[in-house]
Amino acid sequence: MDKIQTTYTGRRSRSQWVRSPWTLTIVSLAIIWFFHDAFVSFGAANVGSGGEAAAVAIWDFFRSAETVTVVDFNKRTGAPAGSLQRRLRLREITPGTISRGDFGKWVQEEATISKERLLANIADENLNNNLHSALGVVEGAPLASPSRVRPNYFYQWVRDGAITINTITNTLLDQPEDFNITLAGTVIKYLKNVYVLQRLDNPSGRFDEDLSGLGEPKFMVDNTAFNSPWGRPQNDGPALRAMTTMNFLQRLNSQGMTLEYVLKRYRLEYGEESLEVPFQNEQELFDKVLYYDLMFIIKNWEKEGFDLWEEIVGIHFFTALCQLKALKMAEYLLTKGLLNPDEALLAILRETIGRMTTYISQDGGFINPHINFVVSTPRLLGQRSGLDIGTLIGSILTHDELGSDDVPAVAIPFNVDHPAILNVLYELTTRMLTLYPINHDRVNLNMGVGLGRYPEDVYNGYDTSEGNPWFLATSTAAELLYKLIYRHHIGARDLVVVLDGDNWQSAFWDLIFDGLHPTSKGGSSTLVIPFGSQAFNQTMRAIFNYADSFLDKIRLHVSNDGEMSEQFNKYTGFLEGARDLSWSYGSFLNTLRWRSTTHQLLALQD
């Protein structure tokens, strides 16, 4: 049959306009919109008469393009029954298993204990003479743990040490009016020790050839190499050291101090020969220490290495994000006058930063089109779920500035409010609620739970059998939530949640809201809670309580004298693994730093 072709010229007849598919669509939508308004008004005034059901039906038709704004969860009238505006509620968050007053008292007490025990793990004759003089630990060396048998953690791990010293910088050198020169000296002794370890030949390689030795994960406490078999190299160490070094320099600069001034003041306090170091100012520290960690990152960021748990080989989200953060911080320092400008180095940094950003955000496989959370090590997807608390640790370590960290000079992707980051917390929480029997008493309560490293974990703190919850993992969840509150407050940002049928954007928020699901199958909606509104304040308070409930879980499992080990048993809840783990105390302290900050913000809104 021949195709019928019709050519229209001049004015179209009415029938021709009506036959146009575009015209039919426009007319149909106009009719539906008219009845939508009518039915909504009619339904609101005729509850139980059938008008409300009709209104809901029309409302549902438009749900695929709906934006819903809630300004007060206690005052929502006029919206049809069944609509998102009517059904959405804040979940009842149980903040703790004891009174708020008792919980606040425990937080203060445990903070004091954590500070004391963290500092007891760092060799410094002005802090604890025992480690240095009696046990031969080099000054400035942070111990992972004082445990020497079952398990032996009596080493200085590069990763743990950098995170520990960064905690001291953040939490104990935070007040310029009460600057602790002794602790500043402890940090400087650590940096002197970094200088030595960088140049020490070890199984990972040498300093004077290709810097490969900087990928060595741990050393003996007397600054000799650890020569036994281990998971090496670990490429996150230099990045974490660089971040710690630059954070210390920035902290001094923000308080109007120079490294030269701090050295002089320390020597006045403890004697002229009390602090002999190979650098006397910021530039020398950069040239002799920081530069080499940065160059290691530039040379090795595309190479595989072991993950932060020292178990698997690949390119890991945690490592990549920390490497990017270190380079961004270096670029910032080199352009802000704290260091001598180096255009050649800046060019290399910027070129590498661009490539790394693209890799992390797009090409690295960390975002998978079939999974709604960040994949920690893409090459192992299929063997493992891809979930790992290390992903959240990477996010909070690289977004740790008080004040806006959205400044282009230092901003990096995957902040704490990124849906793929929040969905990691959602998945870990919901899976480990049932995975660990010690969490089962919270199944019917909307509370934080004890979190472990990853669902497939089999390390029990001594050998392999079954994984347990970790103190540092559980603290990480709380810190991320406090930072989520802070980020919305400091930026005066509306809370915007995209509701999609596959929970790509909104899975986490199901922990906070009841009745939060897409408004039409296959469609999406947007929930907007305006900054400063009653609903915003109510939501932020609910998130704060939820964060506190993770700390309450920690409270239940520390020892009677406040000790935190590495883990707590998944069945009994008792301490497990290395005792007095520095990272456990440091994570808890940094979490409290953000809790205090957000508590003050919430107090202002009440």
Told to judge if 293 belongs to the known catalytic residues of this protein, a careful annotator would answer: no
Q: Which residues contact 81 (CB under 8 A, 6 or more apart)?
A: 43, 47, 52, 56
Cα→Cα distances 211→80, 166, 544, Å: 66, 23, 44
Q: Which residues contact 311 (CB under 8 A, 6 or more apart)?
A: 231, 459
Told to judge if 236 belongs to the known catalytic residues of this protein, a careful annotator would answer: no
Query: Of residues 174, 284, 304, 310, which has the active-site annotation?
Result: 310
Sheet (strand 65-69) strand order: 65-69, 524-529, 495-500
C-beta separation of 575 from 468 below 8 A: no
Residue linked to tokens 């919430």? 602
Cα–Cα distance, 81 to 56 (Å, whole number)? 7
b/e burial code for range 565-595 (CB count within 10 A of at least 16 → b): bbbbbbeebebbbbbbbbbbbbbbbbbbbbb
Cα–Cα distance, 371 to 419 (Å, whole number)? 12
Three-class SS state of 606? coil
3 state SS for 224-277: CECCCCCCCCCCCHHHHHHHHHHHHHHHHHHCCCCHHHHHHHHHHHHCCCCCCC
What is the H or E stretch that residue 218 is in?
Answer: strand 218-219
Query: Of residues 307, 400, 500, 552, which has the active-site annotation?
Result: 307
Cα→Cα distances 446→420, 555, 572, Å: 21, 17, 22
C-beta separation of 304 from 315 below 8 A: yes
Radius of gyration of the chain (CA): 28
Tokens of 206: 């040498």
b/e burial code for range 499-512 (CB count within 10 A of at least 16 → b): bbeebbbbbbbebb
Q: Which residues contact 416 (CB under 8 A, 6 or more apart)?
A: 395, 396, 399, 422, 480, 483, 484, 487
Residues annotated as part of the active site: 307, 310
